[in-house]
Structure 1
């Protein structure tokens, strides 16, 4: 294997590889390279809360942009970066004028983080559809969605294309995937590089296009993991980045076609990919319609967590919390939906949480959670009779 190809393969596996060996190597490297926690403050503005991300560096590109987006367009995002000792993070938070601090950390550093006004979240979650039960994949969605799919399949003349040429890959990457990333995420857009996507996903997987009346409108690039008979959706895109293709059932149709293809071709499961641990995340709400199981990632994020800490109790902070329910880990390390509410605001429970892998849902009263004695109050409820109470760390 050529050195450049070896480097490409090694880099991909380092970022995305599964298994205990790679996870253990990540933990060892993180312990050395992250002796001092990053601290990136994102100023708020116009009634929006200020944010900070601390800890492991990957959260700067994965977690902070999502929080900034959810904070609202009115906020003027100005980032200020520094580094602090891990054992000083609690003091830095207490002395900061930042409203919300999210800390990415390896589970071995949990003791160095504050307890008050805090929840423990997974760093990311993965959504995986099992195909081994012989059930028609269309039965996984609601009857309303099945009926809509059947109607549009006839009227839109949808067909699934499984592409197999380098020209097809170039069309997908240059005309679909990258324009879509720019349209959806702007300057925060991140993806696999072109060479890596070609060598490590396309050459080791399958490329799908959904055609509508003969025209390619949506595409998905997947990698096949032979050991677990898993099809992993890695990159997606719509024609020329036109986000209108996300509506009208076309995007959902591609996922249903891919699930059908995977079932016909002996796959045991389809990994729909990961997302941030927030019920308000659009990706979570869309993919949960396919009835996946929500699990901790199989890669190096499996042993990483987000410490979600409220520093200042303000109206913008409370509004942000109510609008963005989270996926937390409870005292038994189970995934739990947490909806915030207070005397003036009802929890955003219209955002559904029910799917396999989620243990339960909790309505968390902010007047209690943000009280000076909140940590002791919540921790005292972590017994067998209140097993769904979210864990404080």
Structure 2
């Protein structure tokens, strides 16, 4: 019964995630061609800021939800999604702040040297050395001490589960409930069959146990070629909020890093997120001192162009509150913090320990003046 599913699952998974150069090039060419008709989204968040997105449809699940959440501050969000010709999608009418997501070459042909280009996604990768103490020391001191205390008091241990029934239990009782609790209708995940055939069968399933109880789990893909362990699915049992309070996720990360140190793993890829320092999962994983890298798959050759269409207080508030990870002219990645005379840079949103080349302070008056010169749509409110 699994053979037809296996035939379908592997090509689909490879199309989405493969780092093979030939397949990446094919995927990028296909993505560029389908932009003849692009995804166009308009979101009114919190009543004071209208966000726009144009480009590849992946932006609707990877970029737009984050920006809506950060702009709305808990208020209702009204979103309109259409598929329109590329030139229509690029029209910023009625929008305050716009992101455009497309293959890098297309973006670079449109943006000026003053515009802000971000990676479409980033990944956070922890290099592994065969030394358990050294891997444990990568964790920030406060989190490391907390996990050590919970391991001692609660008897936390790592279980490497291998049975198909273990996967089913994880998917139904750990992963799906967690995703529903955290993301609701915006939940995105790997389909069950693809997760089973392409990740579980080629990777490792770990549980954090407390006595005989499994309280959290992670499903990881293993690459024998690069000796890299990549987190694909995760969750806490039944999505229970109580497990977050005990640092169960942090404990699971620490134990997996220790396991990696003794099993010939060269790197642990903590998976990816949007290129904003204010992203909660970025700040959480930063405590493990990963390196920020572009993905090796097709996402690594895609960019986001962040365009300010209208200079309003809400736009300035958003930019200051959400420092970004941007591309330098030389191709490196750096942290960019915005500020102005009334809004200090949010240096409390940290970037250190992530391998970024630097942190750049950018005054909004200078940035907006530079990006509006020659820009077709910039309006000062």
- Bin for the TM-score computed over the shorter chain: over 0.9
Does the alignment pair 1:10 with 2:8?
no
Query: After superposition, what is the alpha-carbon deviation per residue over 1:249-275, rounded to whole angstroms, capped at 9, x for unaligned?
Result: 221110010111111111111111011
Aligned to 1:70: 70
What is the SS of the residue equivalent to 2:358? strand
Aligned mates of 2:328, 2:101 — CA distance in 1: 17
Aligned mates of 1:83, 1:113 — CA distance in 2: 20
What is the SS of the residue equivalent to 1:359? coil
Aligned to 1:103: 100
1:147 CA drift (Å): 2.5
Aligned to 1:286: 284
In structure 1, stretches of 5+ residues that fail to align are: 378-393
1:357 CA drift (Å): 2.8
Q: Does the Cα contact within 8 Å between 1:116 and 1:375 map onto a contact in 2? A: no
What is the SS of the residue equivalent to 2:30? helix
Aligned mates of 1:294, 1:111 — CA distance in 2: 22
1:152 CA drift (Å): 1.6
1:133 CA drift (Å): 6.4
Aligned mates of 2:68, 2:208 — CA distance in 1: 32
Aligned mates of 1:125, 1:24 — CA distance in 2: 19
Aligned mates of 2:107, 2:184 — CA distance in 1: 34
Q: Does the Cα contact within 8 Å between 2:40 and 2:89 map onto a contact in 1? A: no
1:281 CA drift (Å): 0.5
1:213 CA drift (Å): 3.1
Aligned-residue Cα RMSD (Å) equals 2.0
Q: How many residues align?
A: 372
Which shows bigger deviation, 332-341 or 31-40? 31-40
Which shows bigger deviation, 159-168 or 120-129? 159-168
What is the SS of the residue equivalent to 1:345? coil
Aligned to 2:198: 200
Aligned mates of 1:27, 1:349 — CA distance in 2: 36
Does the alignment pair 1:333 with 2:331?
yes
What is the SS of the residue equivalent to 1:136? helix
- Counterparts in 2 of 1:329 and 1:111: CA distance versus 1, 3 Å: closer
1:356 CA drift (Å): 4.0
Q: Equivalent of 2:152, from 151, 154, 162?
A: 154
Q: Does the Cα contact within 8 Å between 1:126 and 1:295 map onto a contact in 2? A: yes
> So what's the TM-score if we normalise by structure 1?
0.90
What is the SS of the residue equivalent to 2:201? helix
